[in-house]
A and B are shown apart, each in its own frame.
Chain A
Amino acid sequence: MATADDLKFQEFDDAANLLAANPDATTISIDEPVEIPKNQHSHRQEPGREEDDELLGTDDSDKTELLAGQKKSAPFWTFDYYQTFFDVDTYQVLDRIKGSVFPVPGKNFVRLYIRSNPDLYGPFWICATLVFTIAVSGNLSNFFIHLGKPTYRYVPEFRKVSIAATTIYAYAWLVPLALWGFLMWRNSKVMNIVSYSFLEIVCVYGYSLFIYIPTAILWIIPQKVVRWVLVVFSLCVSGSVLVMTFWPAVRDDNRRIAVATVATVLLLHALLAVGCLAYFFDAPELDIPAPIIPAHNGTTVITKSH
C-alpha cells in the first residue's frame, strides 16, 4: 500500500469504522443542506451559499434569505433573475412609500425598509405615475388658467408626455448610476462602513419621487405662492430621505467631498422639481394686459393680473 493511498482513504476508513462501531450515530453530510423543506424551495441554489446566508442571519423570513442568495445565482439572461427584483408584497410597497413620505429623522430609508430586498416595482411604477400625473396636471392647469381668454382653444399637448417620460426616467436611472459609480470610486480610496448596491440607490431615488405625485396634482392651483410652497415642502421631504440615506455613505470621507456630494444630490433633485414646474405648468400671470374684454355673450369680463 502506497502512502498516498493511505492518506487518501484514511478518512473514509475512519468514518466507516466509526459508523460500524456505533451504527446509531447521526451523520452529517457537508455536501447537502440539512433542512429538507428549504431545499425544495431553492433547488437551484448552490449549497454553500445557503449556509452563508444563514450565518448572515437577517431577521426576515426564510424566503428573504433564500432569495438573497438566489439573486446572485440565477444567470442574468433568465426570467427568474428579474423575478427576484419583484419579490415584494402589497404591504411592503405601501410601507416603503410611507417611509419616503414621512421620513423619520436619523433612520436610514435603505436600512429600515429595503433591507437587502430592493425591488424594481416601486421605482418603475412611481416614475410612470409621475410622468402621467405631471402631463395631465400641466394640461389641466393650463386649461384653467387660460379659460377666460376668448382666443384660447384647448389643446391636449400630447407631445409633453414623451418629454416628461424621457426626463423623469433619465433622472431616476442615470443619476443613481452616476452616484453609484462615484460612491464605488470613493469606496476604493476610503474605507466606508456603509455602501449601497446600484439597485438600492435606484430604489431610494424611485421611492423618494413619490411625494412629487400629490405635489404635481396640487400644482393645478394657479397661485404662484402656493406652487412655490409646495416645491419647498416636497423638496424638504424627499431631500431629507436622500440626505439621510447618503450621508452615512460619505461621512467617513474627506469633509468637503462629502458635503459636495450631498449638495449635488439635493441640487439635482431641486432642479427636477423646478424644471417640471416651469416647463409643464404655465405661469399664473396673464401675459395679455388687456383690462376689459367684451365676451361674446354680452357681459364684460375683466381679466385679473396678479
Chain B
Amino acid sequence: RVQRAGSGGGRGQFPGLADVSISQDIPVEGEITVPVGSHSPDEDYSTLDEPVKDTIMRDLKAVGKKFVHVMYPRKSSALLRDWDLWGPLVLCVSLALMLQGGSADSKDDGGPQFAEVFVIIWFGAVVITLNSKLLGGTISFFQSLCVLGYCVMPLTVAMLVCRLVLLAGAGTVSFIIRLIVVGAMFAWSTLASTAFLADSQPPNRKALVVYPIFLFYFVISWMILTFTPQ
C-alpha cells in the first residue's frame, strides 16, 4: 500500500504508475508493483525435467505446424521466427531416396545419385540464401534455409505421386499425368517460398531474389519428372 502524495493529475495518464509518486515532503513507503507479463508455462519448471515424450511432441508439433503453413501459404511469421531444419532434412532424405532405383544400365547415363540430390538441395539452398543476403535481404541465414527446405514438400508429394503413377504404367498418359502434377507442385513450391521470403527483400530487387528460387525448384522438378524406373 502506498500513501498517495502529490497531485493526482498524473493518475489518468499513467495508470501503471498511479501507485508511485515522488514527493519531497512526505516519505513514501510501501511496495511498488511492476506489471509483469503472463507467466509462460516453461518458466515453472526447466525443460530438463519434463518427460521425453513432451519434448519430442513439442518439436513434432512445431514441425507439423510448419508443414501446414507450407500447404496453405499465408503471410505468417511463425515459419520464420522459430526455424528448424528437421523438416527440410526429412524431406531431402526422402526425396533423395525416392529418386533412387532409376534406370542404371550405364552408370554415366542414370539419374542423380543420392549424394547428388542431397548436394543440389542443400548447396542450392545455401547459395540462394547467400544471394538474398548479399542483395541486401534482412532475413537470417537459417530462417531462409528453413523456408526453402520446407517448401520442397509439394515436390516430395509430387515424387510420391509420380512413383505411384509409374507403378501403373510408363506410357504417354502416365507421362502427361506426371507432367501436370509436377508442374502444379513446382508452381506451388515457388509461390509458397516467394510468399515467405519476398517481404524481407528490398523492393527494387525482388525479381533478382525470386529468380534463383525459381531455378532451384525447376531443377528439382526436372529431376523428379525425368525419373524413369528400372
Chain A residues engaging chain B, CB cutoff 8 angstroms: 79, 82-83, 85-86, 88-91, 93, 121, 125, 128-129, 132, 136, 139, 153-159, 162
Q: Which residues of A contact B204 (CB under 8 A)?
A: 89-91
Interface majority SS (helix, strand, loop, mixed), chain A: helix
Q: Which residues of A contact B227 (CB under 8 A)?
A: 156
Instruction: Bits for B76-119, please: 1 = Cβ < 8 Å to A, else 0.
Output: 00000000000000000000000000110110111111001000
How far does the alpha carbon of A14 sit from the alpha carbon of B34 in the complex, in Å?
Answer: 60
How far does the alpha carbon of A121 sit from the alpha carbon of B109 in the complex, in Å?
Answer: 32
B111 touches A158 (CB 8 A): yes
- 8 Å CB contact of A156 from B102, B206, B218, B219: B102
B10 at the interface (CB under 8 A from A): no
- 8 Å CB contact of A159 from B105, B109, B136: B109
- 8 Å CB contact of B110 from A79, A85, A93, A156: A156
- 8 Å CB contact of A121 from B108, B135, B219: B135
B205 touches A136 (CB 8 A): no
Q: Which residues of A contact B110 (CB under 8 A)?
A: 155-156, 158-159
Given A121-B135, A132-B219, A156-B102: A89 and B205 interface contact (C-beta under 8 Å):
yes
Given A154-B228, A155-B103: A83 and B136 interface contact (C-beta under 8 Å):
yes
How far does the alpha carbon of A91 sit from the alpha carbon of B203 in the complex, in Å?
Answer: 12
Q: For residue B103, which residue of chain A has the nearest CB?
A: A155
The 10 closest A-B pairs by CB, nearest first: A155-B109, A86-B134, A156-B226, A89-B204, A90-B207, A158-B112, A156-B111, A159-B108, A86-B135, A157-B109
* Segment among B53-61, B186-194, B208-216 that sits at the interface with chain A: B208-216
Given A121-B208, A155-B110, A158-B110: A128 and B226 interface contact (C-beta under 8 Å):
no
Q: Which residues of B contact A121 (CB under 8 A)?
A: 131, 134-135, 208
Q: Which residues of B contact A82 (CB under 8 A)?
A: 134
Q: Which residues of B contact A88 (CB under 8 A)?
A: 205, 208
Given A90-B204, A136-B222: A158 and B116 interface contact (C-beta under 8 Å):
yes
Nearest CB on A from B122, distance (A): 16
Q: Which residues of B contact A132 (CB under 8 A)?
A: 215, 218-219, 222
- 8 Å CB contact of A90 from B106, B113, B205, B219: B205
How far does the alpha carbon of A121 sit from the alpha carbon of B131 in the complex, in Å?
Answer: 8
Instruction: Sample 10 A-B pairs with CB under 8 A, ordered by A number.
Output: A82-B134, A90-B205, A91-B204, A128-B215, A129-B215, A132-B222, A139-B226, A153-B228, A155-B228, A156-B109
